[in-house]
Amino acid sequence: MCQNASHCFILTGGPGAGKTALLEHLAGQGIAVMPEAGRGIIRSQMAIGGRALPWEDRALFAELMLGWELRSLSAAATLPGPVLFDRGVPDVAGYLTLEELEVPAHVWQAAETHRYNSLVFLAPPWEEIFHTDTERRQDFDTARRTCEAMRRVYTELGYNLVELPRASVSQRADFVRARIGV
């Protein structure tokens, strides 16, 4: 877990809202970033013919995401200063909720136990930049519903959500840097 949870910041929202581009930009400015679980899992599962994919076994996919997010928290413990996460443990509960699957007690326990900074950045759905690809197969309506599922879960867990502006990557980066004190 982060040595100081106040230095662990989550960026969440629906797919295709510019989270990864923003985090790559911030990483280029020297800020520590933890990558998204979903894309990594999809790539590795596709490479090995695995079934832990959101279009094959959503519950297994969620379990792998949970393990990934917990590992990311452990890895962040060795990093100084602020660390930005491309999603976090609560996103697993949000995903399961979106998919209308039961959220197991251990997922809620992990989300309640493994805390991040209370300020969470929410990337709103943004149709102008939204696109699908090999790993991102959701349509824009699903992106909207995903964002709302994440908003509900993070609010329920007591986080304070701040919505990112629909602006250029560099303007979004300035917005984030100002709020995390960098």
Domain hosting residue 68, numbered range: 5-180
Which CATH number covers residue 127?
A: 3.40.50.300
Distance CA 162, CA 38 (A): 23
Close Cβ partners of 126 (under 8 Å, ≥ 6 residues apart): 16, 17, 18, 166
Ordered per-residue pLDDT tens for the chain, 182 residues: 665 678 899 999 988 788 889 999 999 999 999 999 988 999 999 999 999 999 899 999 999 999 999 999 999 988 888 999 999 999 999 999 999 999 999 999 999 999 999 999 999 987 776 656 655 566 777 889 999 999 999 999 999 999 999 999 999 999 999 999 88
Whole-model pTM: value is 0.91
Name the phi and psi angles at 34, rounded to 5: -105, 125
Distance CA 68, CA 20 (A): 17
Strand pairing class (8-13; 119-123): parallel
Distance CA 1, CA 170 (A): 29
Instruction: Report how many domains make up the chain.
Output: 1
Q: What is the largest CA-CA distance in the chain?
A: 43
Close Cβ partners of 65 (under 8 Å, ≥ 6 residues apart): 37, 38, 41, 91, 92, 95
Rama region for 9: left / alpha / beta (φ>0; ψ in -120 to 50; rest) = beta
